[in-house]
Amino acid sequence: MLTAVWQPHLYAKSMRIAREQIHDQNRRNEAGHREALNFLTGRLKKDGHDTERLLKSIADFQLAIPSWALGTGGTRFARFTGGGEPRSLEEKIMDVGLLHALNRSSGSISLHIPWDIPGNATEVMALAGELDLEFDAVNSNTFQDQANQDYSYKFGSLSHTEKSVRQKAIQHNIDVINYGKALGSKALTVWLADGSCFPGQSNFAKAFQRTLSSLNEIYSELPDDWKMFVEYKPYEPNFYSTVIQDWGTSFLLAGKLGAKAFTLVDLGHHLPNTNIEQIVATLMMEGKLGGFHFNDSKYGDDDLTVGSIKPYQLFLIFNELVYGMNNPASTNPPPAWMIDASHNVKDPLEDLLQSVEAIKLAYAQALLVDHEELEAARDNNDAVLAQEILQQAFRTDLRPLIAEARLIAGGALDPVSAFRSLNVRKHLIGERGFKTVSTGL
Ligand code: RM4
Ligand code: MN
Ligand code: MN
């Protein structure tokens, strides 16, 4: 049974995982873990790696969890909801608290407005604070019409041909900034569904210019210590053209908007086989990579568990990210990391635990790459050696090191198995019911 801590708040009855429960779980796996860790650190030290530094970097790496990914996702055909899904923003925050208690790496939550409007910001902040969580970027939504809306985004929002509709979409983004201010967020993420479904439907240049001018109005309301992230996507929901279709378009907008505007890369927002690592390198070179949405995909914006389909690509992306972050000439601020996934068949919380693990693993493997050696191989045009260096890092099983970083931080050695043996989902179903549907995707 999990500890139910009663507090004088609305969310008082919600379950929390006590540290002691995690320690109990860890004791069961401790011996096997020590053995694997000693073997690994012995090898790493022999190869000249500073394992203490690696542990610290791994522990410091925090990922934001989107408020819309805590329930079951769906496709345009069906949605098969799971049990015990969070029914309110408070319950979503509780869920992220559970993840963070288990892995100590999910220390923030990103809100999508109006799916998750914070009613009482002070209470919401207090709850997050209790669970050691912060608020990451706030996201605007001008891709759906809301009930009682007397205008429509059917033909676009910030790029709409009608000024009055653009004005509503601009105002919505400003409202989102204001919600974020009250919660301590420091960034606004704009993703637009704007585009066209048929050739001839839209004037590309005019749609771009209208978008730029709308974004400019939003940008002028952005506080000085905030950033604006412009997310791109090649298709869907529009199938012929998207106004902000690729990194080049987003980069162009960010450049025209100003120093607080950046490009956001979502791994699922590329056409098949796009070289995403090269996009990352270019954006970081220009100091314009602001945010990152992790997921994995086979075909399109599948929003699958990070690392489930193309783990080597994930590693290659991290290799560029680490290079970009450590390159002394880089002016790129540390990007905001978030998971943007959807869970159609898995338990959302288990899926998120798996994604966080995959990201940390790829990050840690990328930290093993000796960039001086790699540069030397490149300068000598030694493709064989360059591949050896990368694959040596990629094929090193760093899972014991990730587990150790989590253990030191007070998390579970094996978060998914702890989640299962603590019966977290069963407990949530008991608390919230079986037929629950949370807002989001
Ligand atoms: C989009 C995009 C955005 C997310 C929405 C829900 O495809 O990834 O980041 O806000 O989905
Ligand atoms: Mn995204
Ligand atoms: Mn997406």
Asked if pLDDT for residue 4 goes beyond 50, the answer is: no
| Rounded Cα gap, residues 402 and 108, in angstroms | 19
Given its phi and psi angles, is residue 104 left (phi above 0), alpha (psi -120 to 50 degrees) or beta? left
β partners of residue 109: 65, 135
Q: Tell me the per-residue pLDDT of 187-214, one tens digit each, with 9 for 90 and over.
A: 999 999 999 999 999 999 999 999 999 9
Q: Is 340 close to ligand 1, i.e. is its CB under 6 Å away?
A: yes
Handedness of CA 80, 83, 87, 91 (dihedral sign): negative
Provide Rg for the chain, Cα atoms.
Answer: 22
Where does the pLDDT of residue 437 fall: very low under 50, low under 70, confident under 90, or very high at 90 and above? confident
- Which whole number is the average pLDDT over 288-295? 98
Chain-centre distance for alpha carbon 95: 16
- Which whole number is the average pLDDT over 239-262? 98
- Contact between 319 and 292 under an 8 Å Cβ cutoff? The reply is no
- Contact between 96 and 131 under an 8 Å Cβ cutoff? The reply is yes
Q: Tell me the per-residue pLDDT of 324-373, one tens digit each, with 9 for 90 and over.
A: 999 888 999 999 999 999 999 999 999 999 999 999 999 999 999 999 99
Q: Is 438 close to ligand 1, i.e. is its CB under 6 Å away?
A: no
Question: Which of 132, 156, 134 lies closest to 144 in space, CA to CA?
Answer: 156
The ligand placed nearest to the CA atom of residue 270 is: 3
Output the CA angle 336-340-343, nearest 5 degrees: 155
| Rounded Cα gap, residues 207 and 295, in angstroms | 29
| Rounded Cα gap, residues 416 and 324, in angstroms | 32
- Which whole number is the average pLDDT over 264-274? 98
The best mutation among 191, 269, 337 to test binding of ligand 1, ranked by most ligand atoms within 8 Å of the C-beta, falls on 191
Q: What is the DSSP letter of 396?
A: S
Question: Which of 298, 273, 289 lies closest to 327 in space, CA to CA?
Answer: 289
Give the whole-number percent of the chain exceeding pLDDT 70.
97
Percentage helix, strand, coil for the chain under 3-state DSSP, each rounded to 5: 45, 10, 40
Asked if pLDDT for residue 435 goes beyond 90, the answer is: no
pLDDT for res 329: 87
Look-up of token digits 């807002």:
439
Atom of ligand 1 nearest to the CA of 301: 7
- Which whole number is the average pLDDT over 260-271? 98
**292-309 in b/e burial notation, b at 16+ Cβ within 10 A?**
bbbbbbeeebbbbbbbbe
Q: Is 270 close to ligand 1, i.e. is its CB under 6 Å away?
A: no
Asked if pLDDT for residue 180 goes beyond 90, the answer is: yes
Query: Cα(first)–Cα(last) distance of the chain, in Å?
Result: 31
Q: Tell me the per-residue pLDDT of 92-151, one tens digit each, with 9 for 90 and over.
A: 999 999 999 999 999 999 999 999 999 999 999 999 999 999 999 999 999 999 998 999
Burial class (CB in 10 A: 0-12, 13-18, 19+), 89: buried
Q: Is 238 close to ligand 1, i.e. is its CB under 6 Å away?
A: no
87: its two tokens: 């029914």
Question: Going by CA atoms, what residue is nearest to atom 3 of ligand 1?
Answer: 191
pLDDT for res 82: 87
Asked if pLDDT for residue 243 goes beyond 90, the answer is: yes
pLDDT for res 328: 85
Question: Which of 361, 362, 354 lies closest to 305 in space, CA to CA?
Answer: 354
- Contact between 387 and 381 under an 8 Å Cβ cutoff? The reply is no
| Rounded Cα gap, residues 274 and 290, in angstroms | 20
Q: Is 211 close to ligand 1, i.e. is its CB under 6 Å away?
A: no
Q: Tell me the per-residue pLDDT of 393-426, one tens digit each, with 9 for 90 and over.
A: 999 999 999 999 999 999 999 999 999 999 999 9
Residue type, 368: L
Asked if pLDDT for residue 9 goes beyond 70, the answer is: no
Where does the pLDDT of residue 3 fall: very low under 50, low under 70, confident under 90, or very high at 90 and above? very low
Average pLDDT of the residues of the chain: 95
